[in-house]
Structures are given as C-alpha cells and as structure tokens.
Copies of this chain bind each other. A is one copy, B any other.
C-alpha cells in the first residue's frame, strides 16, 4: 500500500543521477541506460521535471539535461509534487467535504494529520540529503 508510482521513482533516480554525475549535462538516453529505465518513458518524465523548473535542457547535438539548482536547494517535496501533484490522501484535505458528515467529519482530521506527516518528512529532505545519505 501507498506505493509510489514508477513515474516518481524514475524521476528521483534521474535527478540523483544528474546530481551525482561529473558531466555538465546528461542525455535522456544516458540516464535511461545507466538507471535501466524505459528510454521513451523517461523522456516524458524529464520533460515534466523541466516544466516544473527542476531541470534545464538543451536541444540538439551535445544537448541534455542538468539540474536547475544546487541539490541542497531542491526539497524532495518539490520533486514529488512536480511529478504527481500535491499530497492528498483523500478529497477533503483542503476545504471541501468528501463524505456526508460535513465539516465535523472525524476521519477528516486524521487524514489531514497524515498529509502533514508526509509533507513534514518530504520538507525535511533535500536532494542533497538523498545523495549523501
């Protein structure tokens, strides 16, 4: 349960690769091979990370991807949310209600607490922490 989609796992592994690589930039194909990830699939993931401003890219020959910031400035939460959106165990974590109990719903606070626990962990780790663990 609570399994993390491969999309997110791959994205993080790709960022770890970029953060630990000597080279100034790496191509999608390089990363895919090194990390044993489906190349075409990884392309899309890197595109998503680029849209979110986590990586920069250069096209054409000698192009590739590199981190947009230093690893210590990239919180893991930002990565996860870039890949799969905000942590939302259940619909009612924001304002709205998802069951018939309305605002006084008891489970609701429980779920909000869970979200906070997860967010807290993700906020406490940066990409630097991960590559140095």
Q: Which of B2, B109, B125 contacts A2 (CB 8 A)?
A: B2
Are A85 and B1 in contact (CB-based, < 8 A)? Answer: yes
> How many monomers of this protein are in the complex?
2
Give Cα distance in the complex from A4 to B115, angstroms. Answer: 11
In this assembly, does A103 line the interface, its C-beta being within 8 Å of a C-beta of chain B?
Answer: no
Q: Does A90 contact B (CB under 8 A)?
A: yes
Q: Is A44 an interface residue (CB 8 A)?
A: no
Which residues from B are CB-within-8-Å of A13? 99, 107
Known: A99-B36, A113-B125, A117-B120. Contact between A90 and B16, CB under 8 A?
no
- Chain A 14-53, CB-CB to B under 8 Å as 1, else 0, gives 0010001000000000000001100000000000000000
Q: Mark A86-113, 1 if CB is under 8 A from B, else 0.
A: 1111100000001110000011011101
Complex interface: chain B residues within 8 A of A68 (CB): none
